[in-house]
Amino acid sequence: MEDVEAEADALADVAYGLFEILLNKELRKQGPYLFERVEREEDFRDDFEDIFREFRKDYPQLAEALLKRFEETGIIHRMICSGEGIVPTKTTQMYWIVQDAPAEIPARTDGEQVGKWLIFLERDEADEMWKKIRNATTEGKLGISTKVSTAKENPESRDNRIVIYVYTPDWEDEPDVMRVREVLRELGIEQRIGYKRNIETYHGEYSDKGKKVTYYSV
């Protein structure tokens, strides 16, 4: 019985993450980002319901998993309007909130040439800083993508703080990597931070093994 419940929870987690990605994508086609609509307190309920109907048509099993967890779509909509998937410390359904740069900037973050600045923040600092970094990302001022950890307890996390990743497309392009670092400094990240290449991540190399894995540290 416990295994069945665990599988249902896992399916609902996947379903929620996929639905919010779709919601962001479809709303962006129509105009403002989801976070902009929430922060401006715009009424997007009709659009939300239309997108959920399409989601249910394309992914019936995932949609049913969501409805089993939340009972009805209005609950999901109210959660989002209260900060779920928008504000790191108010997000409990996903491990990460992701914000890609504008479409004209390549947004792949899985290549070996990609790297990321890592910013660790206490929870009372994280929401405000994420908003600044997220906005700078959508304005094309940073790298290809950013993401932030959330209040959802992650069994793979090695730190209780909130972490923000700021991705750049090529770790060998030092001028661009350092340009992004300077923008982060302007946004308020004045403490020394490290930059890690995807290569180290793919090889499972982490600092708690006593090995230096930061490629840049500024």
Smallest Cα–Cα separation from 172: which of 193, 195, 204, 206?
Answer: 195
The answer on 81 and 101 residing in a single domain is no
Please check the confidence at residue 6 and state whether its pLDDT lies above 50: yes
The answer on 150 and 114 residing in a single domain is yes
Please check the confidence at residue 193 and state whether its pLDDT lies above 50: yes
Structure tokens at 181: 């670092």
The answer on 199 and 109 residing in a single domain is yes
pLDDT tens figures, 117-162? 999 999 999 999 999 999 999 999 999 999 999 999 888 777 889 9
Domain end call among 36, 51, 86: 86
DSSP character for 151?
S
Structure tokens at 106: 């390549």
The answer on 16 and 57 residing in a single domain is yes
The answer on 46 and 109 residing in a single domain is no
The answer on 62 and 169 residing in a single domain is no
Domain, as residue range, for 172? 96-217
DSSP character for 118?
E
pLDDT tens figures, 19-65? 999 999 999 999 999 999 999 999 999 999 999 999 999 999 999 99
- Residues 131-150: b if buried by 16+ CB within 10 A, e if exposed: bebbbbbbeebbbbbbbbbb
Domain end call among 29, 61, 86: 86
CATH number at residue 166: 3.30.760.10
The answer on 209 and 107 residing in a single domain is yes
Q: Which residues contact 90 (CB under 8 A, 6 or more apart)?
A: 82, 83, 84, 127, 151
**What is the residue type of 66?**
L
Residue 91 lies in a domain: no
C-beta atoms surrounding 68 within 10 Å? 12
List alpha helices for the chain, DSSP H. 2-30, 34-39, 45-58, 60-70, 73-81, 123-138, 174-187, 198-202
Smallest Cα–Cα separation from 156: which of 96, 66, 86?
Answer: 96
Q: Pick 113 or 188 by higher pLDDT.
A: 188
In this prediction the pTM is: 0.89
pLDDT for the residue 4: 54
**pLDDT category of residue 209 using cuts at 50, 70 and 90:** very low
User: Which of 76-90, 91-105, 140-154, 195-209 is the least confident region?
Assistant: 195-209
Contact status, residue 114 vs residue 169, Cβ threshold 8 Å:
yes
